[in-house]
Amino acid sequence: MKNSTFKWNAKYETGLAEVDAQHKSLVDLINHLGELRASGGSVADVTAALGALADYAKYHFSAEDALMQSAGISAEHTAAHRREHDQFLDQINQIVEEAQGDVMLAIDRLLRYLVKWLAFHILGQDTEMAVEIAALQRGAAPEAARNEAREQVLRGTEVLFDALNVLYDDLGASYVELSRAYAQLQQSSESRLKEAQRLAHLGSWELDLTKNLLTWSDEIYRIFEIDPERFGASYEAFLNAIHPEDRAKVNQAYQDSLRTRQPYEITHRLLMADGRVKHVHERCKTDYDTAGQPLRSLGTVQDVTLQAQAEEALRAQAQVDYLTGLANRRHFIEHGEEEIARTTRYRRPLSLLMLDIDHFKAINDTHGHQAGDAALQMLAAHCRDALREIDIIGRIGGEEFAIILPETAGAGASLVAERLRASIARQIMPTEKGAAVNMTVSIGLAIHAGDDAARLDDLLKQADLALYQAKRDGRNRVCVFADKEAPPPLA
């Protein structure tokens, strides 16, 4: 942060004029704190700035709460947003208390926290709020508005981390810089070292193998959420905090490191007392005596939960169809090929359905694209409810869906397909304008008996040909693939 100034630009604008104006007020407060740091502000100056910050928070959070309620956004989103506001106030109070009257330390910590919070909150929660409100205002259904908001935040994850990286670079506190400067930090004052570790969520530890004595920095206690006065640092406390599914691999990594005398690093999970899961990245090296016996191990632990969650969200932006919540084409094919491999290995039957909404263009043209989206969502929800948990459902294009039925062949597959077709035909979808839409589907069925190897591509082509036949035969029906040349599809 050059010259202690937060640089506002267009990427921080949510599109809600009132909210953006309030965010700019917070930027002014941040810049004022930067001026106090540069000029050596007094206790009175900092106290006045904190008072202004408290007043800002109360007004801004109250205004956002009223906006969310009046717009009618989801209760789930509103509650999550309120928690963010509560945590903001708690963190500000904690920073001031821990500074213990050190004005410059308080300002430094406040600036770093405020800059990071502002970037995350605007590009995360506030962007999500703005998108959901905008969708509701243009007439989207509540669930569709919620999905659109989630999708926007997922698409903006990379923007968020780009913004945060720039801010961290300006603050001189990026993890890379901390790692390179770790030796110098060990020579600095204890308070500065603790502040650097806290900022990077990076703790350090040392294990004296001759005395079996483990020492943790304050930040590791915070990461592990362990009270040093009640529990203290111990290998048992460390193991108990590791997720049960990860304990063996973490212990193996450390033992291999001792055996090979090579440093190691590993990312694993922590299981908190209340069931929450954290992700941490560990590094370790060990010193040895002249005889090759290990003397002490030194290591670092960094909380990388936020990064792990973002990566998981991106993996989900890659696997799930944003409109229906079903597997998208790519993920359906990946999952389907795994099931085909299992089917081939154990010589088990499998069937594949291709569904296509009849006259879908007419639904869009007559009732609007919102009705078309609602029809796709209703069909997806109905398939999920009507089929088994082991069945694999995906949206593979426009109004086309594919379903894999493991362990199902012949008459059983035909019965499932016919029941699904009939139950969909009984559904009535109300539109926002009060009209009622009856929806039917045509279904193509391909069956693999399990007596030889199968290929997903072949089954998809077979089901597709059968689907075309169902369309030609009048729609709202099931056709089973027959091993013969199918007529060309309808125009």
Kindly list the catalytic residues. Answer: 399
CA distance 303 to 225: 12
CA neighbours closer than 13 Å in the CB half-sphere of residue 81:
26
CA distance 164 to 142: 31
**Which tokens belong to 222?**
């915070």
CA–centroid distance for 354 within its chain: 31
CA distance 133 to 16: 9
CA distance 137 to 131: 10
Cβ-Cβ contacts under 8 Å for 200 (sequence gap 6 or more)? 173, 174, 175, 178, 302
